Amino acid sequence: MAIAEGVSARARRATLPVTLFVQAAASAAVIGPTVAAPRLLERLLLGPAAVGLYIAAVYLAAMFSSSLGALLVRSRGPIRASQLALCASAAGLALLAMPSVWAAAAGALLIGIGYGPITPASSQMLSRTTEAHRYGLVFSIKQTGVPLGGVVAGLMVPALVTLSGAVAALAGTGALCLLAAALAQPLSGTLDRERDGAVSWPRPAQLLAPVRFVAAHPVLRPLVLVSFVLSMVQVSLTSYMVSYLTADLRWTLLAAGAALSASQVAGMAGRIAWGLLADRWLGPRRTLLGLAGVMAACCLAMPWLAIGTPAAPVLALLCVFGATAVGWNGVYLATVARQVPQSEAAMATGGSLFFTFFGVVVGPPLFGLAGTAFGGLGGAFALLALPLAVSLWMLARTGWG
């Protein structure tokens, strides 16, 4: 596929860094409140299980706003769609700063509404400005924006909380979203040129068509169930790491935020490394098998950490955990695309992400409840090894890849 006509060399050069920044800002908007959770929960008089409910609300909204993202891109253009999404995330962060449970709930939904359209919009932009033979590398680099947002949140939010409080931390994260929206504006004239204001609003049955497509596919059906489990593990680690380190191991908030950033850096490296491993040596199925196996081992190791455990082995474990639990998505999405004709790749990806996001919705609340029942989050991590064992069995018995 050739680069679209009318796209200047300047726009081609700028699109990747802009989409990377936009993705990182949107990701930071989701993760930032979980980093500030110890202080925010005090203001709202809530327990740690509320972190899981927050993540569930965000991704419940994202499940449906991602389905609508393609429509928003077609009717408003990818830059304008991204800007509207980032503004919704910033507004959601402002609501979370209010000392009200109801305002926080509405804020979580707004952040999710903002998160959903980001990937459809960036994919549209990159497909128009990237040579076909560079798709894999360019899209992989862009996807590192997700863990990069975790790095930014892990470094910025604890510092702002320590200096000025949780409200200032949320305001800083919201300002990052608005900055990303402003930096994207110069590309609007070029990349929003093909918008179609006559696009009609889809019927509910049309929104479910990708889900039905995936459910009827013999390879994708078990594969999306695996993604459901892997996404549960990923978001539980990302959302609860700071709470685990501060509550269970008595780390400071700054140290816990730095550990989160380190695990996200490992996840960024993993997203590219596992893709190369799957493409050149192991194949996607064996790569996913290996990643799920390492995740299960990390989950079982978490309860063995205790107050006084030296920081080095804790960080080493969290980086290995982050490299696998945060880094599997690229291999998975590439595998989905390989199982269907090119003309059906968008439908297959959209339907699979519905199941992936559903794992994010149900996973953190169950994880938080398990942590409450065990009296600590280490036991909740160990419990995740059970669904991972089911995923290993499903991957081992299939013949693709």
- Residues 171 and 39 reside in one and the same domain: yes
- Residues 261 and 123 reside in one and the same domain: no
- Residues 149 and 174 reside in one and the same domain: yes
- Residues 141 and 219 reside in one and the same domain: no
Q: pTM, whole model, 2 decimals?
A: 0.78
Amino acid residing at 172: G
Cα separation, 254 vs 252, in Å, equals: 5
* Residue 138 is assigned to a structural domain of this protein: yes
pLDDT for 340? 75
Range 238-252 average pLDDT:
91
* Residue 196 is assigned to a structural domain of this protein: no
**Beta strands, E only, 205-335:** none
State the CB neighbour count (10 A cutoff) for residue 110: 24
Domains identified in the chain, total number: 2
Q: Which among 136, 164, 191 is the end of a domain?
A: 191
- Residues 215 and 184 reside in one and the same domain: no
Rg (CA), the chain: 20
Got the DSSP string for 309-364? --HHHHHHHHHHHHHHHTT-HHHHHHHHHHTS-GGGHHHHHHHHHHHHHHHHHHHH
* Residue 78 is assigned to a structural domain of this protein: yes
Enter the tokens of residue 194.
Answer: 């093909």
Task: Check whether 29 has a pLDDT greater than 70.
Answer: yes
Which of 120-134, 135-149, 202-216, 334-348 has the weakest average pLDDT?
Answer: 334-348
Enter the tokens of residue 31.
Answer: 């993760």
- Residues 162 and 230 reside in one and the same domain: no
CATH at 343: 1.20.1250.20
Which of 90-94, 219-223, 381-385 has the weakest average pLDDT?
Answer: 219-223
Cα separation, 261 vs 117, in Å, equals: 25
Q: Which among 377, 219, 212, 364 has a CA at the least distance from the CA of 288?
A: 219
- Residues 179 and 217 reside in one and the same domain: no
- Residues 171 and 218 reside in one and the same domain: no
State the CB neighbour count (10 A cutoff) for residue 246: 17
Range 42-47 average pLDDT:
83
Amino acid residing at 379: G
- Residues 34 and 161 reside in one and the same domain: yes
Task: Check whether 84 has a pLDDT greater than 90.
Answer: yes
* Residue 305 is assigned to a structural domain of this protein: yes
* Residue 253 is assigned to a structural domain of this protein: yes
Q: Which among 142, 164, 191 is the end of a domain?
A: 191
Cα separation, 315 vs 292, in Å, equals: 20
* Residue 155 is assigned to a structural domain of this protein: yes
- Helix ranges restricted to H, 116-165: 118-129, 135-143, 145-164
Enter the tokens of residue 372.
Answer: 């409450």
pLDDT in tens, 131-164: 755 665 676 777 788 888 888 888 899 899 989 8
* Residue 200 is assigned to a structural domain of this protein: no
- Residues 279 and 362 reside in one and the same domain: yes
Residue with tokens 């798709």: 135
The C-alpha angle 300, 301, 302, rounded to 5 degrees, equals 95
Q: Which among 162, 191, 220 is the end of a domain?
A: 191
Range 232-260 average pLDDT:
91
Residue with tokens 């990390």: 298
- Residues 182 and 277 reside in one and the same domain: no
- Residues 271 and 391 reside in one and the same domain: yes
Q: Which domain holds residue 296?
A: 208-401
Q: Which among 233, 330, 335, 347 has a CA at the least distance from the CA of 284?
A: 335
* Residue 368 is assigned to a structural domain of this protein: yes
